[in-house]
Amino acid sequence: MACALAWAGLAGCVPSLNWREVVVPGPELTALFPCRPVSLARPVPLAGRTVNLTLQSCEADGSTYAVASGEIGDPAAVAETLRALRDATSRNLAAGTDFRPEAWALAGATPQSQAGRWRVGGHRPDGQPLHADTAVFSRGTWVVQVTVIGSSLSDVRTQPFFEGLRFQP
């Protein structure tokens, strides 16, 4: 948390970023958002099943910050669902399979072969560049995807978001 606060302090110099803790429904996860998120829930087809995903997202300084979570109920389907979340991000950005994985793990997450963090580059429908810094992980049978997406991304804006994630005790 100290590291997240340090990043938040650095990013706090940017007037458009107003960092706040937000509880993510379901997996007992707290996220640090740079703006007030809105919540949306809907069923999403993933890995051959329908998952009721709750999305919390907001836009700040030209980027969208989002956390999606859903309970799938079947421990055997978690890895496949995480892979489907990751692949959907790539398809949505028309990025193909150009993933740049980073070593990343969230304390308290259930170890899964498909969990991790990736930076993906792609394009908007109008051809303009679009980049995403995204992570997928799980806790029990809850799956979570965390994403920052924008025309350009910097660590000053993405690191506090990812380092601000923590499971509640």
Q: What is the pLDDT of residues 86-129, one digit of tens each?
A: 888 877 776 655 566 677 889 999 999 889 998 888 888 888 88
Which pLDDT score is estimated for 13?
46
155-163 vs 2-11: helix crossing angle, rounded to 10 = 150
Given a contact cutoff of 8 angstroms between Cβ atoms, the answer to whether 104 and 117 are in contact is yes
Is 24 a residue whose pLDDT tops 60? Answer: yes
Tell me if residue 147 falls in helix, strand or coil.
strand
> Confidence class of residue 17 from pLDDT cuts 50, 70 and 90?
confident
> Confidence class of residue 146 from pLDDT cuts 50, 70 and 90?
very high
Could you tell me where the DSSP H helices lie in the chain? 2-11, 78-92, 155-163
Which pLDDT score is estimated for 14?
52
Q: What is the pLDDT of residues 45-75, one digit of tens each?
A: 999 999 999 999 999 988 999 999 999 999 9
Q: If we measure between CA atoms, which residue out of 75, 87, 55 comes closest to residue 141?
A: 75
Which pLDDT score is estimated for 22?
94
Which pLDDT score is estimated for 155?
86
Question: At the topology level of CATH, where does 2-167 sit?
Answer: Protein Transport Mog1p; Chain A (3.40.1000)
Q: What is the pLDDT of residues 34-43, one digit of tens each?
A: 999 999 999 9
Tell me if residue 56 falls in helix, strand or coil.
strand
Distance CA(10)–CA(45), nearest Å, equals 39
Mean pLDDT of 12-32: 81
pTM value is: 0.85
Is 6 a residue whose pLDDT tops 60? Answer: no
Distance CA(165)–CA(169), nearest Å, equals 13
Which pLDDT score is estimated for 91?
79
Q: If we measure between CA atoms, which residue out of 43, 101, 97, 93 comes closest to residue 68?
A: 43
Any bridge partners for residue 135, and if so which? 117, 146
Which pLDDT score is estimated for 95?
60
Residue 50 makes CB contacts below 8 A (sequence gap 6+) with: 43, 44
Residue 155 makes CB contacts below 8 A (sequence gap 6+) with: none
